[in-house]
Amino acid sequence: MRWSKSCIPTFKEDPSEAEIPSHKLMLRSGLIRKLTSGVYTFLPMGYRTVRKIEKIVREEMNAIGCQEVLMPILHPTEIYEESGRLETFGPELFKLKDSRDRTFALGPTHEEVITMIARDDMRSYRSLPQCLYQILSKFRDEIRPRYGVIRAREFIMKDAYSFHVDDESLDETYRKMEGAYRRIIERCGLEYCIVEADSGYIGGEESHEFMVLAGNGESTILSSTCGYAVNQEQAVAKEDPDRRVGENSGDPYIELSTPGMATIDEVSGFLKVEPYALVKTLLYRTGEKTAALLIPGDREINDIKLVNASGDPDIRFLTPDEIVKATGAPVGFSGPVGLPEEIEIIADPLIEAYESMIVGANKKDAHLKGVVQGRDFRIDRYEDLVWAKEGDLCPKCGEPLGMSRGVEVGHIFKLGDKYSASMDATFIDEKGEMHPFIMGCYGFGISRMAAAAIEQHHDDDGIVWPASITPMDLLILPVNVNNEEVLETAFRLERELEERGIDVLVDDRDQSPGVKFKDADLTGIPLRVTIGRKLKEGKVELFHRATREIEEIPVEKVLDVILEKIER
Ligand code: ATP
Ligand code: MG
């Protein structure tokens, strides 16, 4: 392939719209172009990498016995009414109307479609288990599309769905899928970890995410030396179980004057206590009800947990006026003591460690000290509500958790009968009885993977492609294309390598060496043969992009040396 006649539009400056290296580099090296927010074209070089990732994914799916299918993108919205997901998807579902005014959605994922197939066409236990997969564009109207193809509104996903007679059979496929995902990411040459995850709106019982480690990843991972790792979204905050906060001297609580001090920092600074000696009381409205949430002063509410605990995606913080109405005091002075009966008091389990606490007094400019739960106020129930953080203890080994970041490339779920029960998809067992299928689903972000690879493998000069997913195996760089011998050597080598199935790009542009070398670094092809002045002495240079190592090689040996370096 010749650069001069290819659509590989590179540019020097960082695009202002891009925040992280992979997004900048994908634009600069001509892998992708934006059509509109969250919608991208993969140009030839970008699409080559996508195809290589797809090939690896297909091979690993086929190797564990999955069957490839192709489902429609256009879905009648009735199927989401049937599964109950029309609401849970909410605004992320792209909707459109046909000419007869019927509503359709662009598929964000395919649980409903595949469950209908199983319902009609996998009736007997004898045909189970089965696992079907596809590679297809998905559509989600993400609230904040960003980072290029990492969080896009149209993106390529591999999604697989498995159907089983029981949980054991699901467990077996789930484990095989985990193995296949590990091999996919390893074959792509990336470092990763597997974390316990929140199931989000896909739902179900258990799920794991596959994170490609990268400093700019959107996901935060808490992990321990014992091998345990969890998505921070999902992690339960755990302190030393022997930790006791405050002390209960048996004395009644006292009121303290805290004029104008409405934040934890202000109050703890003023009282010269640690922020966690205070307990925050946060007032939320769900439907017609108000709930007071109690959490340690040094912790924050995790909205995902809050929505899960309340079952209300519209749950919201009370407005300042509503707070005054509910507690009698302005924002910053709420507390659990003396709240009206109808306000439910929900506490994070960390509150159990408090023998006494400092709380707002439900009175302007006042806090209460020495407040004892049970004695001075009631707790209606405990719910896991707060963000876990670095230094919290591992639930498995008890050691402090470390923090790292990653890009989620895969997510596997045990769905159980979530879809089969609501959509009445059953199989007939050996006794002739009907049961809902036990299901699993397994997503892998193909287009996101291309960006994740760059996020993990780049340097100041550009991309450093892992050999297995590079758009091209080798770049031949004739320095001066006006020198006939140089150009002929380049084209001969190109032909010989292409005949052997190697993907070769020749930079035959009549550009300055400076431009060509910069572009070569930027586009990150792992191996480069530079054909320049040394050709007179019968030598060319072999350059390794990852290590920047240069070898001088006699021109007659270069074919063999390259073939040896590029395993096929
Ligand atoms: P996220 O938490 O990042 O929004 P998700 O839980 O919505 O992900 P799944 O529904 O599990 O994602 O989708 C499976 C895989 O598809 C993800 O692991 C990810 O690799 C990819 N993916 C999901 N959303 C996007 C997106 N907006 N753009 C690109 N890839 C995506
Ligand atoms: Mg999502």
Q: Which ligand 1 atom is nearest residue 207's CA?
A: 11
206, pLDDT greater than 90: no
CATH 3.30.930.10 applies to domain 15-189+415-455 = yes
Q: What is the mean pLDDT of residues 409-433?
A: 96
On whether the CB atoms of residues 2 and 493 are closer than 8 A, the answer is no
Nearest CA to ligand 1 atom 14: 443
Q: What is the mean pLDDT of residues 78-98?
A: 93
Nearest CA to ligand 1 atom 7: 200
13, pLDDT greater than 60: yes
Q: How many angstroms separate the alpha carbon of residue 197 from the centre of ligand 2? A: 13
pLDDT in tens, 93-120: 999 999 999 999 999 999 999 999 999 9
Structure tokens that stand for 431 in this block: 């006794």
What ranges do the domains of the chain cover?
Answer: 15-189+415-455, 254-382, 474-565
Are domains 254-382 and 474-565 of this chain identical in fold?
A: no
Give 1's contacts (C-beta < 8 A, 6+ positions apart).
Answer: 472, 503, 504, 505, 506
Q: Which ligand 1 atom is nearest residue 210's CA?
A: 18
Q: How many angstroms separate the alpha carbon of residue 127 from the centre of ligand 1? A: 31
Nearest CA to ligand 1 atom 11: 411
**% of the chain exceeding 90 in pLDDT:** 93
Q: Which ligand 1 atom is nearest residue 159's CA?
A: 14
Query: Which pLDDT value is given to residue 398?
Result: 94
568 vs 161, which has greater pLDDT? 161
Q: How many angstroms separate the alpha carbon of residue 452 from the centre of ligand 1? A: 13
Q: What is the mean pLDDT of residues 410-426?
A: 96
Q: Which ligand 1 atom is nearest residue 202's CA?
A: 10
199, pLDDT greater than 70: no
Q: What is the mean pLDDT of residues 495-502?
A: 96
Query: Which pLDDT value is given to residue 201?
Result: 56
Q: How many angstroms separate the alpha carbon of residue 201 from the centre of ligand 2? A: 8
For 340-356, what is the HEC assignment? CCCCEEEECHHHHHECC
Q: What is the mean pLDDT of residues 302-312?
A: 90
Q: How many angstroms separate the alpha carbon of residue 431 from the centre of ligand 1? A: 40
Q: What is the mean pLDDT of residues 446-459?
A: 98
Q: What is the number of the ligand closest to the CA of 109?
A: 1
| Cα(296)–Cα(280) distance, integer angstroms | 6
| Cα(39)–Cα(253) distance, integer angstroms | 59
Query: Which pLDDT value is given to residue 311?
Result: 85
DSSP H or E segment with residue 132: strand 130-139
Query: Which pLDDT value is given to residue 202?
Result: 58
Nearest CA to ligand 1 atom 24: 151
Q: What is the number of the ligand closest to the CA of 233?
A: 1
Q: Which residue type occupies 558? A: V
pLDDT in tens, 142-188: 999 999 999 999 999 999 999 999 999 999 999 999 999 999 999 99
Output the ligand 1 site: residues, CB below 6 A: 109, 140, 142, 151-152, 155, 157, 200, 202, 408-411, 443, 445, 447-448
344, pLDDT greater than 90: yes
> What is the residue-averaged pLDDT of the chain?
95
Q: How many angstroms separate the alpha carbon of residue 495 from the centre of ligand 2? A: 45
| Cα(443)–Cα(465) distance, integer angstroms | 24
Q: How many angstroms separate the alpha carbon of residue 240 from the centre of ligand 2? A: 33
Structure tokens that stand for 432 in this block: 């002739």
Q: What is the mean pLDDT of residues 349-371?
A: 96
Mutate to test the pocket of ligand 1, among 93, 144, 157 (most ligand atoms within 8 A of CB): 157
Query: Which pLDDT value is given to residue 191?
Result: 97
Query: How does strand 474-478 pair with strand 504-506?
Result: parallel
Query: Which pLDDT value is given to residue 285?
Result: 95
Query: Which pLDDT value is given to residue 241?
Result: 85
CATH 3.90.960.10 applies to domain 254-382 = yes
Q: CATH second-level architecture of 474-565?
A: 3-Layer(aba) Sandwich (3.40)
313, pLDDT greater than 90: no
Q: What is the mean pLDDT of residues 379-385?
A: 96
pLDDT in tens, 215-267: 999 999 999 999 899 999 989 999 998 889 999 999 999 999 999 998 999 99
Q: How many angstroms separate the alpha carbon of residue 105 from the centre of ligand 2? A: 16
35, pLDDT greater than 80: yes
Query: Which pLDDT value is given to residue 308?
Result: 86
Q: How many angstroms separate the alpha carbon of residue 434 from the centre of ligand 2? A: 34
Q: What is the number of the ligand closest to the CA of 108?
A: 1
Mutate to test the pocket of ligand 1, among 137, 194, 411, 447 (most ligand atoms within 8 A of CB): 411
Nearest CA to ligand 1 atom 4: 151
476, pLDDT greater than 90: yes
90, pLDDT greater than 90: no
Query: Which pLDDT value is given to residue 17?
Result: 92
Query: What one-character-per-residue DSSP string does 422-491 give?
Result: HTT-EEE-TTS-EEEPEEEEEEEEHHHHHHHHHHHSEETTEE---GGG-S-SEEEEES-TTSHHHHHHHH
On whether the CB atoms of residues 294 and 272 are closer than 8 A, the answer is no
Closest to 414 measured CA to CA, from 206, 125, 164: 206
Closest to 185 measured CA to CA, from 526, 456, 440, 568: 456
Query: Which pLDDT value is given to residue 205?
Result: 76
